[in-house]
Each structure stands twice: as structure tokens, then as C-alpha cells.
Amino acid sequence: MTHYDVIVIGLGGMGSAAAYRLAQRGQRVLGIDQFAPVHNLGSSHGGSRITRQAYLEGPDYVPLLLRAHELWDEVERDTGRHLFTRCGGLMAGPPDSRTITGSVLSAEKFDIPHELLDAAEIRRRFPTVAPRDDEVALYEPGAGFVSPEGSVAAHLQLAARHGAELHHEEQVFTWSTSESGVRVGTTSSYYTASRLVLCPGAWAPSLLADLGVDFEVQRQVQYWFEPADAAPFAADRHPVYLWETEQGDQFYGFPAHSPQGVKVASHYAGTPCTADTIDRRVHDDEVRAITRLVGSRLPKLGTFRRAATCLYTNTPDEDFVIAQHPAHPRLVVACGFSGHGFKFVPVVGEIVADLVVDGSTTHPIALFDPARFDPAGFDER
Ligand SMILES: Cc1cc2nc3c(=O)[nH]c(=O)nc-3n(C[C@H](O)[C@H](O)[C@H](O)COP(=O)(O)OP(=O)(O)OC[C@H]3O[C@@H](n4cnc5c(N)ncnc54)[C@H](O)[C@@H]3O)c2cc1C
């Protein structure tokens, strides 16, 4: 039986990048996923994911985003695939909203190129967008969107090019670690390795029950609309946007980037579920609610065409978990991406490879330590 250096469980957004970076560093890698490559049953599908660097979620994320944007370009070069569309990004809302204050804080701290626009200037530059008179925006010209399906395909392609063995449609039902190695049981076989990486997405609650993180998996919906006049929604004229209303709702959307139309979604309207029991149907009242919410600021969005569900895996503070497992030194975990992980995919791959191969990383990841949820650890600090 082959003994691997490392087994990566989950080959979605994060696991595909981890498998690639590990193989690139000379590790003998086995990657395993329960579904076919580039599927739509997890968190990494729907054609587009916003990326931006004036990060309203906190300046601690910005160094990782600076590196991620370099790596998106590198993966594009190495595969010849177009993954990243830099159409610019508009973060809009009341001047004192977190969307504005958080974006400005990160932009100023790290000198991220940006402009502050008042409502009249937003209307002038982006004729599809209708802010309230008291709303403002931070415009980030280097923001845009990446392709989740393209990213998974590119990273799997690079992993295979560097010798990784990739098994799809094979479900892991058990894993264990010991002082001498790790063992993984799947629907087809048992495998052994020196180390283990788990990137299970929304399956974290079952595969990582002893991590001590109270994950909440949420059902989310992505919606596509067809404007009567699509021209002003083209990616060379229209930014990605993230909008916070005075009620604290947050919605976001994209330029038209596929024949399916213009995609929009709400960031907060998720309902708790599990990855295996999620309701995949989208209901009329949900379509009415998103039409009302987004239509209040994008009145020319047009006719609803289709919708698709997706999964968030939230941690209690919505910061990620990327670390060596506290109870299993041979296991590195990358999970709990809380609905904002995709833009980090290539740098997460690099961090996981550092943790597995070197035992540490120079990237700032203290924020992602699962010990922050451990009450005993908290008392000691
Ligand atoms: C609607 C929506 C919009 C989003 N928008 C953005 C955005 O604009 N910007 C942004 O940065 N992020 C965004 N995100 C978040 C981002 O997409 C996720 O953080 C990211 O995709 C998570 O990747 P992952 O690898 O953790 O999960 P996944 O890609 O789902 O991968 C997990 C993999 O593990 C596999 N797996 C699980 N259990 C097993 C098992 N037992 N055996 C074998 N395989 C297993 C699964 O099959 C799956 O392939 C959005 C997410 C959603 C749902």
C-alpha cells in the first residue's frame, strides 16, 4: 500500500489550493473528495466571488489579501486560465456603517488605492446605481471578482501537474491520527500518510467535531437577473458592490459576466441547515425579498431568471480557522470561512503547505487560531 506524505480531505476551494501547494513543495499528496471535480453542492460555485483589499472585516486580513492577489495572477499565468476580473469595487452605505468605516480603516492603513464618493458622484459614475442622498461609497479600483469553478479546476490541474494523486467521488467516513502517522477510511479503501489536511467546507461539523468550534452552517441563495438593457452592466463599465442599508442589511452583486445574467445576493439572510439536509429549492417569497432589497439601489436590475443555493460555514466571530489541530499535531485544518473565504484561496493553500512542511508560517494567522473559542485557554490569557 502506498504511504503518502500527506492526505488532503476535501478538494473544493481551499483543498484544491492546499493539494497544489503541497505537491509543488515536493510532498507525495493524496487528495480525496466525495463529489466529482468542480461540483455545485458545497461553497465554491455560482460563477463569481468578490475580491477586495480595503477589507471591512478588519485590517489584519489585508497582508493576506495583498499576497492572494499576487497568487491569483500567478495561477492565471501557470494555467493560462482567466480567473480574476478587475472591474473595481464599490463599498456603499451610510457614512457611519461598518461597511464604510471598516473599508476606510483598512484602505488607509495599507495604502490601498481608493476614492471616497458621495451620492451624486456615485450616480454620475455608475448610472445603474441609485444611492440614497445620505449614502456614500469607497471605490476600490483594484477590486473585482474571481471564478470559483475556474479556481478549483486550475488548482486541481496544477496539483496533478506536480504529481498529486486525486480521488473524486470517494467519501471519507473516518480518520485517525497516532504518534506515528494518520489513517483515513473511505468508501473504497484505507490510506496511511505522515500528515493530514482537512478542508471540509460545510461538512466541518461532522468531520471536525472535536475541534472545539461551534460552526453554524447556513443555507444561502445566489440570484440571477436579466436587465432590459445589459450594456451598462458589462464588466468594463460596472463594478462589484457591497451595500449596507440603514437597517444593517448587506447585499452584494456583480457585473454581467455570464449568459445567465447579473448575479446578486444577500450576505446576512442565511438560514441554519446542514450540508446534507439543505433545502435546495428557492421559494417565491425569497425572490420577492431580494428583488425588493437589491431593487431599492439597482432599479434597472430587470427580471428574475434563476437562483441556486450555496453553503456558508460560520464561526462564532466569523473569522476563519487555519491551524494545526490542537489535539492532533499531525493534522492541519482550514475551515469556518464564514462566507468570505474565496478571495483568500491561493494564500490559504500556501499557508497550509507552510504549516504541513515547515510546522509554521510567516503569514499572520494568529486571528485564525481555534484556541480563541476554548474557554480554558481564554482564562489563561
Ligand atoms: C453564496 C455564496 C457567496 C459567497 N461569496 C463570496 C465572495 O463574494 N467572496 C469571498 O471571498 N467568499 C465568498 N463566499 C465564501 C467562499 O465561497 C467560501 O468561503 C469557500 O468557497 C469555502 O471553500 P471550502 O474549500 O471551505 O469549501 P468547499 O469548496 O465546499 O469544499 C469542501 C469540500 O470538502 C468535500 N468533503 C466534505 N466532506 C467530505 C468527506 N467526508 N469526504 C470527502 N470529501 C468531503 C466536499 O465535497 C467539498 O468539495 C461565498 C459563499 C457562498 C455560498
Give the pLDDT confidence of 91-113 residue by residue, as tens digits: 999 999 999 999 999 999 999 99
The amino acid that residue 246 corresponds to is: E
pLDDT at residue 269, rounded to an integer: 74
Q: What residue's CA is closest to ligand 1, atom 15?
A: 339
* Centroid of ligand 1 to alpha carbon of 227 (angstroms): 29
329 CA distance to ligand 1 centroid (A)? 24
- Burial degree of 288 (CB within 10 A; 0-12, 13-18, 19+): exposed
Local confidence band at 377 (pLDDT 50, 70, 90 cut-offs): low
**Is a pLDDT exceeding 70 seen at residue 36?**
yes
- Burial level of 198, CB count in 10 A (0-12/13-18/19+)? buried
Q: Which residues line ligand 1 (CB under 6 A)?
A: 9-15, 32-35, 42-44, 46, 49-50, 148, 171-172, 199-203, 207, 220, 222, 265, 310-312, 337, 339-343
225: cell is: 437577473
Tell how far CA 339 is from the center of its chain: 6
pLDDT at residue 379 above 50? no
258 pLDDT above the threshold of 80: yes
pLDDT at 260: 85
Say which range, 260-274, 327-341, 364-378, has the weakest mean pLDDT.
364-378
Q: How confident is the model at residue 376 (pLDDT cuts 50, 70, 90)?
A: low
- If you take atom 27 of ligand 1, which residue's CA is the nearest one? 201
- Contact present, 191 and 275 (Cβ < 8 Å): no
Amino acid symbol at 355: L
C-alpha 271/C-alpha 142 separation (Å) is 32
More confident residue, 287 or 379: 287
CA dihedral sign of residues 270, 274, 277, 280? positive
Ligand 1 pocket mutation pick from 8, 43, 203, 351 by most atoms within 8 angstroms of CB: 43
pLDDT digits (tens, 9 = 90+) for 194-224: 999 999 999 999 999 999 999 999 999 999 9
Q: Residue 130 contacts by C-beta under 8 Å, 6 or more apart in sequence?
A: 123, 296, 297, 298, 299
Amino acid 6: pLDDT: 98
pLDDT at 381: 36
CA of residue 202 to ligand 1 center, whole Å: 7
pLDDT exceeds 70 at position 90: yes
Ligand 1 centroid to Cα of residue 201, in Å, is 5
What's the pLDDT score for residue 159? 98
- Mean pLDDT score, 245-268: 93
- DSSP summary character for residue 163: T
Task: Summarize the confidence of residues 312-333 as an average pLDDT.
Answer: 97
- The Cα angle at residue 230 between residues 228 and 233, in degrees rounded to 5: 130
**How many helices, marked H, and strands, marked E, lie in the chain?**
9, 20
Query: In the predicted model, what is the mean pLDDT of residues 164-178?
Result: 98
How much is the mean pLDDT over the chain? 96
- Secondary structure (3-state) at 169: coil
Q: Are 228 and 337 in contact (CB under 8 A)?
A: no
The ligand 1 atom nearest the CA atom of 221: 1
Q: What is the pTM of this model?
A: 0.97
For a mutational test of ligand 1's pocket, the pick from 69, 213, 342, i.e. the residue with the most ligand atoms closer than 8 A to its C-beta, is 342
| Least confident piece of the model among 111-115, 221-225, 244-248, 345-349 | 244-248
R_g over Cα of the chain: 21
Confidence of residue 268 (pLDDT cuts 50, 70, 90): confident
Question: Are the CB atoms for 234 and 278 separated by under 8 Å?
Answer: no
The packing angle between helices 345-357 and 148-161, to 10°, is 30
Burial 26-62 (b: 16+ CB within 10 A, else e): ebbbbbbbbbebbbebbbbbbbbbbbbbbbbeebebb
Residue with cell 486541481: 156
Q: Which of 20, 33, 254, 318 gets mutated to test ligand 1 (max ligand atoms within 8 A of its CB)?
A: 33
What would the mean pLDDT of 107-123 be, rounded to a whole number? 98
Residue 378 has what pLDDT? 44
Give pLDDT tens digits for 290-307.
999 999 999 999 999 999
The minimum-distance atom of ligand 1 relative to the CA of 42 is 30
pLDDT at 380: 43
Q: Which atom of ligand 1 is nearest to the CA of 39?
A: 49
Residue 82's pLDDT band, with cuts at 50, 70 and 90, is very high
